[in-house]
């Protein structure tokens, strides 16, 4: 665990910031909608610009991490994320808030990728998923911190004050990464000459081979969608669903989002460890993500056809949703095993870029669907719209799973 504390834990700190930044919008989103008079599609766009910045950065940061290492890249990105939080804190209106969210998205864009890269360099192949899962478990504590604690802080310091706190925390994490994480793998001696590299153009060209690889084409759509569902609902639409469909007040909604975050924490550690355990015993590395896909599809169907309002039942359902959705990084590690460690950053960012493109589309598409119905008297959106939105995501899941499981596909 000493190695974990030196290598993975500091990088997990920036993932903590990432998770907190995403989840807090589900908590304060209804407040922002009322303060700025935002429609569902406008609120969806405000949340989605975070993922636009996050997604557009994926391929460049993946290449940067492969070339210059997690330590240097993450330190710089941490400072950028802190700047984004400051912009949000002083934003006079939704336009500047969107700019701040986009800058923050850029700053936290390599949280998972940097952990995968350093873990690939330092741990045996069958331990990468498990150690990455532990790192994501630590990062997912940010989701917990952004639920009830943020709900309690907002009346005291306002949502702008919460952004200031996140900015200060991010600067501290960037300093920790710089002082703790090594520049390379265990074979990298301090002061040694870097290994010979190909031209920059050839390094970029590796992305084409990744996107065209049979394993990527077969598995990446389903894995990307699995993670995208987590980002979409945790990052925005779970909170409004609990308000408009389950009729929960602010306090109850914060508690149920806490249950969601708890599911994410348990799943992040559990699915990664399960994937490593099963792989050491001969199971395929895609087994855990495949089971998770089936679970999350069932949960969505239950939310559509049996829209319970009992807090305990809803807590179990959203906990299970998050637990299953947290298996996405195990799928990242499984796909990454088809490539060399020198491409680990680029493989992960290729999947992440695809996933974040889906998040941008899904968050906006759900907003567009909800706006097809008139606003209800409370200022929320019609429950019927949420049913159709969930139906859309279930249909997409079925299609990607069929694509992955169709006989004759190789990879």
Asked whether the beta carbons of 263 and 326 are under 8 A apart, the reply is yes
State the pLDDT at residue 37.
81
pLDDT of 45 higher than 90: no
Query: DSSP alpha helices (H): ranges in 91-146?
Result: 94-107, 111-122, 125-145
Residues written for the chain: 411
- Rounded-to-integer distance, Cα 212 and Cα 363, Å: 27
Residues 6 or more apart from 131 whose CB is under 8 A from it?
4, 8, 119, 123, 272
Helix (H, G, I), strand (E, B) or coil at 1: coil
- Rounded-to-integer distance, Cα 172 and Cα 23, Å: 20
CB atoms within 10 A of CB 36: 15
For residues 132 and 214, the model is more confident at 214
- Rounded-to-integer distance, Cα 232 and Cα 391, Å: 14
State the pLDDT at residue 396.
94
Residues 6 or more apart from 95 whose CB is under 8 A from it?
none
Q: Report the chain's mean pLDDT, rounded to a whole number.
A: 84
Fill in the DSSP letter of residue 37.
T
Which tokens hold the place of 181?
């994480």
Burial of 391 (0-12, 13-18, 19+ CB in 10 A): middle
Span 179-214, pLDDT tens digits: 888 876 666 545 544 555 556 677 777 788 888 888
Which tokens hold the place of 30?
């209804």
Kind and range of the H or E run holding 289: helix 287-305
- Rounded-to-integer distance, Cα 100 and Cα 82, Å: 10
Instruction: Select from 223, 225, 219, 233 the least CA-distant residue to 321.
Output: 233
CB atoms within 10 A of CB 350: 26
Asked whether the beta carbons of 349 and 62 are under 8 A apart, the reply is yes
pLDDT of 402 higher than 60: yes
Span 257-291, pLDDT tens digits: 888 888 888 888 788 788 888 888 888 888 999 99
CA 368 to chain centre: 22
Fold assignment, 9-182+204-405:
Growth Hormone; Chain: A; (1.20.1250)
Instruction: Select from 54, 46, 55 the least CA-distant residue to 80.
Output: 54
State the pLDDT at residue 269.
78
HSE at residue 222, side-chain half, CA atoms within 13 A, is 28
Segment 80-106 shows an average pLDDT of 91
Span 56-78, pLDDT tens digits: 888 888 888 888 888 899 999 99
Which tokens hold the place of 213?
């690889």
- Give the rounded percent of residues in the chain with a pLDDT score beyond 90: 27
State the pLDDT at residue 297.
94
State the pLDDT at residue 189.
46
Residues 6 or more apart from 118 whose CB is under 8 A from it?
7, 8, 11, 70, 181
Segment 314-326 shows an average pLDDT of 93
Which of 81-85, 207-211, 365-369 has the least mean pLDDT? 207-211
Which tokens hold the place of 390?
């969930």
Which tokens hold the place of 308?
């319970």
Segment 383-404 shows an average pLDDT of 93
HSE at residue 1, side-chain half, CA atoms within 13 A, is 1
- Rounded-to-integer distance, Cα 362 and Cα 310, Å: 27
Asked whether the beta carbons of 129 and 330 are under 8 A apart, the reply is yes
Span 287-308, pLDDT tens digits: 999 999 999 999 999 999 886 7
Span 25-43, pLDDT tens digits: 777 877 777 788 877 778 7
* Sign of the Cα pseudo-torsion (319, 325, 326, 330, in order): positive
For residues 109 and 129, the model is more confident at 109
Q: How far is CA 213 from CA 30, 165, 222, 404, 410, in A?
A: 42, 43, 15, 14, 10
For residues 360 and 243, the model is more confident at 243
State the pLDDT at residue 185.
65
Span 133-156, pLDDT tens digits: 788 888 888 878 887 788 888 888
Q: Specify which of 1-5, 170-174, 325-329 reaches the highest per-range mean pLDDT.
A: 170-174
Segment 10-24 shows an average pLDDT of 88
């Amino acid at each position: 665990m000493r190695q974990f504390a030196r290598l993975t834990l500091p990088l997990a700190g920036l993932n903590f910031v990432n998770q907190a930044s995403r989840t807090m919008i589900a908590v304060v989103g209804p407040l922002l909608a009322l303060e700025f008079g935002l429609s569902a599609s406008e609120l969806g766009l405000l949340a989605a610009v975070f993922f636009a910045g996050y997604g557009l950065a994926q391929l460049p940061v993946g290449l940067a991490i492969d070339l210059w290492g997690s330590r240097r890249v993450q330190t710089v990105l941490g400072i950028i994320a802190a700047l984004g939080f400051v912009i949000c804190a002083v934003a006079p209106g939704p336009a500047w808030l969107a700019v701040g969210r986009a800058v923050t998205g850029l700053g936290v864009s390599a949280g998972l990728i940097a952990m995968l890269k350093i873990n690939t360099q330092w741990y045996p192949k069958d331990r990468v998923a498990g150690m990455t899962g532990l790192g994501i478990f630590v990062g997912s504590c940010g989701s917990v911190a952004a639920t009830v604690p943020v709900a309690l802080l907002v009346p005291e310091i306002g949502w702008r004050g919460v952004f200031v706190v996140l900015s200060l925390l991010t600067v501290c994490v960037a300093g920790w990464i710089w002082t703790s994480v090594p520049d390379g793998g265990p074979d990298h001696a301090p002061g040694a000459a870097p290994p010979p590299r190909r031209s920059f153009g050839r390094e970029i060209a590796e992305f084409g081979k990744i996107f065209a690889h049979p394993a990527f084409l077969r598995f990446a759509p389903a894995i990307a969608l699995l993670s995208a569902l987590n980002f979409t609902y945790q990052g925005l639409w779970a909170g409004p669903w609990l308000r408009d469909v389950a009729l929960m007040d602010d306090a109850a909604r914060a508690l149920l989002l806490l249950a969601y975050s708890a599911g994410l924490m348990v799943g992040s550690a559990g699915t990664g460890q399960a994937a490593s355990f099963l792989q050491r015993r001969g199971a395929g590395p895609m087994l855990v993500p495949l089971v998770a896909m089936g679970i999350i599809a069932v949960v969505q169907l239950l939310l559509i056809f049996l829209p319970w309002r009992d807090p305990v039942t809803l807590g179990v359902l959203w906990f299970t949703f998050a637990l299953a959705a947290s298996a996405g990084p195990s799928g990242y590690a499984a796909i990454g095993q088809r490539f060399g460690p020198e491409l680990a950053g680029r493989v992960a960012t290729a999947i992440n870029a695809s996933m974040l493109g889906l998040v941008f589309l899904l968050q906006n598409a759900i907003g567009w669907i909800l706006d097809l119905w008139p606003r209800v008297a409370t200022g929320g959106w019609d429950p019927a719209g949420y049913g159709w939105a969930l139906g859309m995501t279930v249909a997409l899941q079925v299609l990607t799973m069929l694509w992955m499981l169709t006989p004759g596909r190789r990879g």
